[in-house]
A and B are shown apart, each in its own frame.
Chain A
Amino acid sequence: MKRRTLLTAAALSLALGAPASADDPVKAGFIYIGPVGDFGWTAGHDRARREMQEHFGDALETSIVENVDYGADAERVMSQMALSGTDVIFAASFGYGPDVNTVAGRFPDVAFQHATGYIQDHPNVSLYDARFYEGRAVLGHIAGNMTETNTIGYIASFPIPAVIMGINSAYLHAKAVNPDVNFRIIWTFSWFDPALEADAAETLIEQGADVIMQHTDSTAAVRVAEDAGVMAFGQASNMVDFGPNAHLTAIVDRWAPYYIERVQAVMDGTWEAETAWLGLADGIIEMAPWNDRIPEELQAEADALVAAIASGEYHPFTGPINRQDGTPWLAEGEVAQDSELLTMDFYVEGITQDLPN
């Protein structure tokens, strides 16, 4: 196969960051933990890949491998991508961390972009993540205003910092507008189990929640909320079709602007390892259109909150904030460090349930 021999030659001659010539497309590889049809996390990344492909046209070739498990499988897929002349590999899941770094050490000329990770052992490993907690703050603000029972249900996956951060952010902003608000949290110990998520949503509603938030991938909770006549927020994608009345808004993942920027850097030969934690300001996450049932006044408030966070004027974790046990965490006016957020393993004051582990 001519194309592949050509690419092998290209891979050998290409030092990291060397500009690719116009007639030699840059190759980007993607490995996904789930299927592209999951309508959640992986779908979000693949949406961005397609948008990027459209943006670059013939100048870019992309390849994907779906359903790649962590460990030996991931290591092998990324190695084979590197061997096939891929210039930049996007590893779109937290768990790929050790594998990305193993392969990166072996292929110093390939650029690695690892989503939501923390291990950066080699100069060709970039980390990127989205500040989902910014979106959660907006959801919390809306939920705190909209709830009539003062009970908000939260379906959570695994007790890891990204999820805990989201719960805290939502809680703080709901509490700020509604001091009586109360969170009920269910851990499913899975990212995707539609039936269990439906059961969890129903349980929360029966226990008085009239707003459901989720940090799991399926649309089940939105539909259950619709049927029960309560409110919900979508996850990762705009899920309004599944609950036209219930769906207040969603945090929509939009990795495309970042992907385009990074691949452009590879093309220009200016790619360097970095740690990017992007949010509303960068257009990496955005809020799905507000539901009409949100009063206009509140819509305006939510718009203002989004604008304030995006402009950097306001940080969702601004003191005074105490930990759950009452010990102070952030003093008046103090803003949380990124490193503290990324390793968050405690609830803030006011949440009544215990955090697993």
Chain B
Amino acid sequence: MIRLERRKEPSTFWRVANPFLAVILTMLAGGMMFVALGKDPVTAIRLIFFDPIFSAQFGSYSRPQLLIKSAPLILIAVGLAIGFKANIWNIGAEGQYIMGALFGAGVALAFFPLQGWYIFPLMILAGAFGGFLWAMIPAILKTRFNTNEILVSLLLVYVAERILAAMALGLMRNPDQPGFPGSRDLRRYESAHNAELIAGTGLHWGVVAALVAVIFAYVMMTRHMLGFHVRLAGQAPRAARFAGVAPARLVVICLGIAGALAGLAGMFEVSGPGGQVRIEFAVGYGFTAIIVAFLGRLHPIGIVLAGLLLGLTYIGGELAQMMLGLPSASIQVFQGMLLFFLLALDFQTNYRIRLREEVRR
């Protein structure tokens, strides 16, 4: 009989080794699936994990893409993780991401065609504010009316999607292209364009913001009183109240930070890689970021690594589809397996496997 025993101290060895082991197990399980689909498993796995970074043919293009794909995930996940630590369940980052994009783009479109250095900073403020505002709806409903934030934040995603469609079709539609949905291309409006800071590196302001957010979150969670309150509220709500943590204030702060960061991610996307407000602008970053947050153990550095790994499988998955004719569904299954293994192996960090006899002795 096998049983688990809790370790006194989390194992540092397994914490480092697990992700590698998980990737290897995913390669084995995923490889079997690719064989079942009649494809060469070695090529498929190489395309997914190695070619986006190391291939001579694609590498120089897809390495920067890794930053572009992962930055919004990391930026959103860092904010979500703070709330999750305090047991505040914001499932609606996607909606906050959309509103940030709409507010940011709204500022740009209002100034068009004026050029000025102040436009982009204003867009940043507006983007953060848009996401913040959208997150304040579940926050205030929770603090004032006791309404569960899971439901409110989740349903507000659908509302935000409808507003996005209405904006792309109406108010924000490009007046120079009557009839067609979609706003002006912000990449063609110099003052509003979130361009690459160094050409060919993929480094845009959103990547910088993600880095700043990671450092900020790290310092806050480890060095600052607020971080202590957040952790305390999550682990021992009653103790937190005795320690003078006001639950309502914490709800507003956690949802506010997450909303503002998600809004920023949306704003940097719409003014850069995304380019314009279109009906289908939102592609699920807000939901994927939840996975990234937990995969990164709600720790800022972990989130960076998780975001990059997931970004890699997206880019590699596209390559595998293109070069091998794998269906996109098989890539989803592959990603699912990777997540399962990453999560499953983590028990080794906190537990050890024991045979029952051993325990009894």
Chain A residues within CB distance 8 Å of chain B: 1, 4, 8, 29, 33, 35-36, 63-73, 75-77, 79-81, 83-84, 95, 97-99, 102, 118, 158-161, 189, 342-345, 356-357
B245 at the interface (CB under 8 A from A): no
Q: Whole-angstrom distance between the alpha carbons of A95 and B280 in the complex?
A: 8
Total CB contacts across the A-B interface at under 8 A: 115
Q: Whole-angstrom distance between the alpha carbons of A8 and B329 in the complex?
A: 28
Query: What residue of chain B has the Cβ atom nearest to residue A81's Cβ?
Result: B322
CB-CB under 8 A for A83 and B61, given A69-B283, A71-B269, A72-B274: yes
State whether B178 touches A345 (Cβ < 8 A).
yes
B143 at the interface (CB under 8 A from A): no
Interfacial chain A residues near B319, Cβ < 8 Å? 80
B147 at the interface (CB under 8 A from A): no
B121 at the interface (CB under 8 A from A): no
State whether A98 touches B276 (Cβ < 8 A).
yes
State whether A71 touches B273 (Cβ < 8 A).
yes
Chain B residues within CB distance 8 Å of chain A: 43, 57-58, 61-62, 65, 68-69, 162, 165-166, 169-170, 177-182, 185, 187, 269, 273-276, 278-281, 283, 314-315, 318-319, 321-323, 325, 327-329
Q: Whole-angstrom distance between the alpha carbons of A63 and B326 in the complex?
A: 10
State whether A65 touches B180 (Cβ < 8 A).
no
Interfacial chain B residues near A64, Cβ < 8 Å? 321-322, 325
Q: List 30 A-B contacts (CB under 8 A).
A: A4-B57, A4-B323, A35-B329, A63-B321, A64-B325, A65-B321, A65-B322, A67-B328, A68-B318, A70-B278, A70-B281, A71-B273, A72-B68, A72-B269, A73-B69, A73-B318, A75-B273, A76-B68, A76-B318, A79-B61, A80-B61, A80-B319, A84-B323, A95-B278, A159-B169, A160-B179, A343-B177, A343-B180, A356-B166, A357-B169
State whether B280 touches A70 (Cβ < 8 A).
yes
Query: What residue of chain A has the Cβ atom nearest to residue B173's Cβ?
Result: A357
A55 to chain B, nearest CB (A): 18
A54 to chain B, nearest CB (A): 16
Choose among A70, A99, A102 the residue with the greatest number of B CB atoms under 10 Å from its CB: A70
Interfacial chain B residues near A97, Cβ < 8 Å? 182
Q: Whole-angstrom distance between the alpha carbons of A8 and B62 in the complex?
A: 16
State whether A35 touches B328 (Cβ < 8 A).
yes
Interfacial chain B residues near A66, Cβ < 8 Å? 321, 327-328
Q: Whole-angstrom distance between the alpha carbons of A158 and B170 in the complex?
A: 12
CB-CB under 8 A for A98 and B328, given A72-B68, A79-B61, A84-B323: no
Q: Whole-angstrom distance between the alpha carbons of A267 and B309 in the complex?
A: 40
Of all A-B residue pairs in the complex, the 3 with the closest CB atoms, nearest first, are A343-B179, A72-B273, A69-B283
Interfacial chain B residues near A36, Cβ < 8 Å? 327
Interfacial chain A residues near B178, Cβ < 8 Å? 343, 345
Interfacial chain B residues near A99, Cβ < 8 Å? 275
A97 to chain B, nearest CB (A): 8
Q: Whole-angstrom distance between the alpha carbons of A356 and B283 in the complex?
A: 24
CB-CB under 8 A for A80 and B185, given A71-B269, A73-B283, A95-B280: no
B203 to chain A, nearest CB (A): 14
B32 to chain A, nearest CB (A): 22
Query: What residue of chain B has the Cβ atom nearest to residue A165's Cβ?
Result: B179
State whether A76 touches B62 (Cβ < 8 A).
yes
Interfacial chain A residues near B65, Cβ < 8 Å? 72, 76
State whether A357 touches B274 (Cβ < 8 A).
no
CB-CB under 8 A for A8 and B57, given A95-B280, A160-B169: yes
Q: Whole-angstrom distance between the alpha carbons of A289 and B283 in the complex?
A: 38
Query: What residue of chain A has the Cβ atom nearest to residue B270's Cβ?
Result: A71
State whether A118 touches B280 (Cβ < 8 A).
no
State whether B315 touches A76 (Cβ < 8 A).
yes
State whether A161 touches B318 (Cβ < 8 A).
no
Q: Whole-angstrom distance between the alpha carbons of A36 and B318 in the complex?
A: 15
**A65: contacting residue among B43, B170, B181, B328, CB under 8 A:** B328
Interfacial chain A residues near B318, Cβ < 8 Å? 65, 68, 73, 76-77, 80
A323 to chain B, nearest CB (A): 14
State whether A98 touches B322 (Cβ < 8 A).
no
Query: What residue of chain A has the Cβ atom nearest to residue B329's Cβ?
Result: A35
Q: Whole-angstrom distance between the alpha carbons of A299 and B165 in the complex?
A: 40
Q: Whole-angstrom distance between the alpha carbons of A200 and B105 in the complex?
A: 33
Interfacial chain B residues near A77, Cβ < 8 Å? 318, 322
Interfacial chain A residues near B269, Cβ < 8 Å? 71-72
A141 to chain B, nearest CB (A): 26
State whether A69 touches B280 (Cβ < 8 A).
yes
